[in-house]
Chain A
């Protein structure tokens, strides 16, 4: 890489430095601010659902309480552990990029993808249980014999919130596959690892959202 970069007249030893930035540090700082602004829009996107959930939960506490007994607390707990672990492997992937350790970067990216896959696999098991029992969102709800009316509302929120979260996990997996390809190619080093860093930030935010979803959906009393 360095020899191909040396043939370029501009940014001779910084192949990934855009010409309108003075230094890699300035470039990384500028794009990091943009990434954090994006993360804030993500917080507000999920925030709307959280506020809706809080409003409906405060108005129909019994319905939400009974409905949440249909969720499997153990599976939710395992998924929390899996996702926290994936955040750990992701942060180690970022660290490996920072320390020029390409082999470990690849290993930790793969581990993170595996954790994300386990998370989605468990989520699929949970979803299929709900589908079989007719615990579907909105007008699709066909479960009979609820002790309290209005349990469908809980499942509308459950599917919208975990569904949107699941889409984010899928997107994260896609991004990590892209990182993996670039890591194999040898794009990342201690001088340039912004994409790894930012996918890491995104991944940790998805983790933070689950940190709130788990107690709100699975551990209501």
Chain B
């Protein structure tokens, strides 16, 4: 008696590994070419393709129950909302670009000690 889990062939897993390694080489070589702001888009795009390959084939989302995929994708969507709103917030704030955070000395007002007599 076999369980209902899908058993893929060793060859198909080998092909996925080959694709992942190829994409790793591609992402490293793409990083050595200056494409301006497209570099990060390409790097994250390739990373997302690789992550999808791992999720679909190695993590068996392709053959498993759809519920698992729904859980996974909804988690990624919420992470996207988290990231997007934080970046929108940061980009629309009126903060002078060259970093106040780094250059300003830590000039907090001296904290008064505990008042005597209490």
Contacts and interface: CB of A to CB of B under 8 A. Distances in A.
A binds B: yes
- Chain B binding surface SS class: helix
Nearest to A221: B39
A5 to B, nearest CB: 15
Contacts of B103: 149
A54 B21 contact: no
Contacts of B116: none
Interface string A25-42: 100110011001101100
A73 B68 contact: no
A150 B99 contact: yes
Interface size class of B (residues with CB under 8 A): 35 or more
Interface in A183-221: 190-191, 193, 197, 200-201, 204-205, 207-208, 211-212, 214-216, 219-221
* A-B pairs with lowest CB-CB distance, top 8: A40-B75, A219-B31, A215-B43, A47-B79, A150-B102, A88-B17, A221-B39, A36-B71
Interface of B: 1-5, 7-8, 10, 13-14, 16-17, 20-21, 24, 27-28, 31, 34-35, 39-40, 43-44, 46-47, 50-51, 54-55, 57-59, 64-65, 67-68, 71-72, 74-76, 78-79, 82-83, 86-87, 90-91, 97, 99, 101-103
